[in-house]
Structure 1
Amino acid sequence: MKIVIPVVSLETGGTRFIYHLANEMVDKGHAVEIVLPEKAAVAWPLRAQITRVKELTPDKIPPADFILPNFYPTVFPAWESKKGQVVRLSLGYEPLWVEEKEKALSSYLINAPILSISQWHRQIILQATGRDSTVIPGGVNSSVFCPGPKKSLTTGRPTIAYILRSREHGYTWKGTEDFWEAIQRLTQLVPGFDIQVVAPEGATYPAPIPYETVIANTDQEMAHFYAQGDIFVSTSYFEAFSMPPLEAMACGTAVVTTDNGGNRDYTKNRENCLLVPPSDVQQLTLILVHLLTQGNIRNQLAQVGRQFAQTWTWRNSADKLEAFLLQLTGR
């Protein structure tokens, strides 16, 4: 089948979902065409056809069996083009954070099926719009995201890994301040640990202790970042799916994450990760103390997490998408 995916850009964050899904659908034998503005960035190695247009208008949308707009501005040109059946792919319920809340909401009210990416995400859309959706979960490429040597083997100091997304760049829900407050408290309780961060937008932070910034622009570099850490921490208040904790598990790193909703499909507290309530700095601090001082528990958590992550594949995600689209065609 022919699938067209109009996008604003393919840079960091959730657009990696599109990149992985598009590549898997190509590998399954489908024709996938990504349509995006001529100056938009493409950060990921796509096997799908890439078509650049001056702007995303209805006349620039190619004909297809299915058109999968994702971010709300792409929905309207796709719908108005009348060039294929529109399936509204949601990577996050945009009215929760964008300024154009009414426009974003209206993108869910067109007469098109909706795809969500977790059960929590599905419930958010259902409660807000009254419309149900089909869940196509995310995955992890275990051939790339796999264990490697821990930095602590050479330093003798455990390393905490964190992805730094700042309020100044619009990421108000990532809990960055909570993380650094916990680290401030941690310095008074546990001596001798290091912090490594990836800062996709080049963000910096007046942190309580020095930290190392790692440049990671590819999946391979991200995998190396996760694998070097002894503990990966995620502090988001909400996420539609949240790929980093799952990727860190696949890399054999113990995961501490907030219960952000979208990760409930794959997180199992005290089995493959440790969960804390969003904004609970006290509990986050105590859990980090526990893991930093109990290497056997940290290693066991990492081992179970890695085994669990093996079952979450992008091929499984593509299989579910393919089955859903074929069902719409009556095949």
Structure 2
Amino acid sequence: MPCSWYQAIPAIIDLVLLDKPQSILDLGAGFGKYGVLLREAGDIPYERYDRNNWGLVIDGVEGFRSYKNPLHEYVYNEMIYGDVLTVVKSMVKEYDTVLLIDVLEHLDKESGYELIDEILQITNRSLIISTPIQWVEQGAYLGNELEVHRSSWSMVDFADYDYQFSQVKIGNNGANLFKLYPTVIQRKALATVKPLKLAYFLPHHNLTGGLKMLLSQMDAMRKRGHYITALYKGEEGDFVLPSWCRIEVDEEILIPHNQLARDYADDCDVIVAGWIQQVLELKGAKAKVVYWEQGHEWLFGDVRNSQQIDLIRRQMETYYTSGVDVMSVSRFVERVLMARYNLQTTVIPNGIDTTLYCPPAQRNEEEPVTVLLIGNPTLSFKNFPTAINVLQILWERGHKFQVNWVSQVRPETNVGFPLKIIVHPSEEVLISYYQQADIFLYTSWYEGFGMPPLEAMACETAVVATKCGGIDDYAVHDFNSLLAEPEDEEKLIVHMESLLMNEERREYLAVNGRKTAVDYNYERVIPKLEDYLLSLLGSKVSP
């Protein structure tokens, strides 16, 4: 049930507070009782009564969406609805303390152990488990089959873990309380994987967000000790890597157009396709083939030529049901692939180098507020007309600001406010514009992940954005960003106006945004990718 024995509350709260946590994850949150109690214990006594001043991060995961209630939205920084094991596997964020209160008995033993092992990899201090002392038969609750009891747990079941144990007797039954401590082996296991030979099949050389992230992933994997080969189809004399990229790889292979890429990576463990249309060419390769789906117009049903809809839908069906293993860049993309192609995928998010994307040593406080736009105006889903209209209205209301627009091509627009256009800058220059900005405005209709807002957060720039899908994995309204529906222009104006007029609020969002970005540092993301690739190969972590 979405509740638990109230008699165990004092003992559980004491176990949590002994950790002196700054972040807590409540798995199987149910009604939200422990979120309320821990918020009261961790924030309210310290005169942090207002939600905007809370210092303790409390996130939750609930497997049954019908349990959603106002407590979830108010008390928790973020509440994720989905299968607990699946959500934990996709997490890159780490927590000081994780709660698993009256959840374990709802899983079979094998799944329970798998969940514990996954949790310990994202736990800094302890995992606190409560489970009934004696087996109790329990069926579904309000149609929720997740409430069925499937296992019982005792001290001997935790012999392979470092833990402490206590009990709270309640009548003829009670609660077994286990506090598990992550060991060095559990915390560092993913950092000791055996080196892999990976071939990345590049789809083009255009400067796009998708290719930029693929190249960044290649660079991060090579820095972890893996052997990276770049594959590219082109004419004799062509470069394999784009001229604008700065990464190095171990091997570059130029493939003639009339030959198959699969024949050029026989000695690799895994071939990573850079675009879904490449998977058929790679079918039959000796290496394992995987595709990292970052999202594209066709995947989201955005086909501008109605005459091509049926053809493109058939092609996409062929590609995604070809048997290739697919990773999703976000839970949004994961949901789309499941709905369209019944394709189960593992979420491997984008990573970011927070040593490069970082706050400036000092901002120029004397200049007018600077607003930053980033993206290609020729892509309609970027929805730049809304951004321009919002800024124009704000200017006409008397607000003063400078707008910088970084783009791959020069936008054709006439505006009444100061606008500087920066075309195709180097990464160093791009970062400098993030660092100069006070507000980053992002108005896309949809995004598979949405990297620019995270880059802005890393540079401690306040973010105003639309709820465009992938951004939901890291953007939390009124914590690290201000969010609005894509069509709600008035709400975007309200958000922008509040930040233009309130430097303190900008700073609050910016500081929390930086904390969020650090959770997506490559040091935390890449081990998830390594674990996934090794699981495909049936490999184990090296001793």
TM-score (norm. length: structure 2): 0.57
Distance in 2, matches of 1:56 and 1:310, equals 44
| Larger-Rg structure | 2
Residue equivalent to 1:188: 396
Q: Deviations 1:253-294 (Å, cap 9, x if unpaired)?
A: 001111111011111110011111112111111111110011
Whether contact under 8 Å (1:161, 1:232) holds in the other structure is yes
Q: Percent identity?
A: 25
Structure 1 consecutive aligned stretches of length 4 or more whose deviation exceeds 6 Å: none
Change (3 A) 1:299 1:192: same
Residue equivalent to 1:25: 221
Deviation at 1:50, TM superposition (A): 2.8
Pick one of 423, 437, 444 that aligns with 1:236: 444
Residue equivalent to 1:145: 357
Amino acid at match of 1:52: L
Pick one of 87, 98, 108 that aligns with 2:320: 108
Amino acid at match of 1:203: P
Amino acid at match of 1:53: I
Deviation at 1:71, TM superposition (A): 1.2
Q: Note if 1:46 corresponds to 2:247.
A: yes
Deviation at 1:216, TM superposition (A): 5.1
Pick one of 320, 326, 331 that aligns with 2:534: 326
Amino acid at match of 1:182: V
Whether contact under 8 Å (1:235, 1:278) holds in the other structure is yes
Distance in 2, matches of 1:69 and 1:186, equals 44
Amino acid at match of 1:163: I
Q: Deviations 1:151-189 (Å, cap 9, x if unpaired)?
A: 65242x1010001422xx3x1111111101111211122
Pick one of 256, 265, 274 that aligns with 1:70: 274
Structure 2 residue runs of 5 or longer lacking an equivalent are 1-195
Distance in 2, matches of 1:107 and 1:42, equals 29
Deviation at 1:57, TM superposition (A): 4.2
Of 52-61 and 255-264, the range deviating more from structure 2? 52-61
Whether contact under 8 Å (1:44, 1:218) holds in the other structure is no
Distance in 1, matches of 2:270 and 2:294, equals 17
Residue equivalent to 1:158: 369
Pick one of 394, 397, 405 that aligns with 1:197: 405
TM-score (norm. length: structure 1): 0.92
Change (3 A) 1:164 1:28: closer
Distance in 1, matches of 2:376 and 2:504, equals 31
Distance in 2, matches of 1:107 and 1:179, equals 35
Residue equivalent to 1:8: 203
Deviation at 1:219, TM superposition (A): 2.6
Of 32-41 and 230-239, the range deviating more from structure 2? 32-41
* CA RMSD in angstroms, aligned pairs only: 2.0
Whether contact under 8 Å (1:6, 1:61) holds in the other structure is no
Residue equivalent to 2:138: none
Change (3 A) 1:56 1:185: farther
User: How many residues are aligned here?
Assistant: 326
- The within-5 A match list for 1:199-238 is 199-215=407-423, 217-238=425-446
Distance in 1, matches of 2:389 and 2:349, equals 32
Distance in 2, matches of 1:217 and 1:174, equals 19
Select the structure with the greater relative contact order (CA < 8 A; seq sep ≥ 6).
1
Whether contact under 8 Å (1:216, 1:225) holds in the other structure is no
State the secondary structure of the residue aligned to 1:237. coil
Whether contact under 8 Å (2:409, 2:424) holds in the other structure is no
Structure 1 residue runs of 5 or longer lacking an equivalent are none
State the secondary structure of the residue aligned to 1:283. helix
State the secondary structure of the residue aligned to 1:89. strand
Residue equivalent to 1:176: 384
Of 211-220 and 108-117, the range deviating more from structure 2? 211-220
Distance in 2, matches of 1:161 and 1:147, equals 15
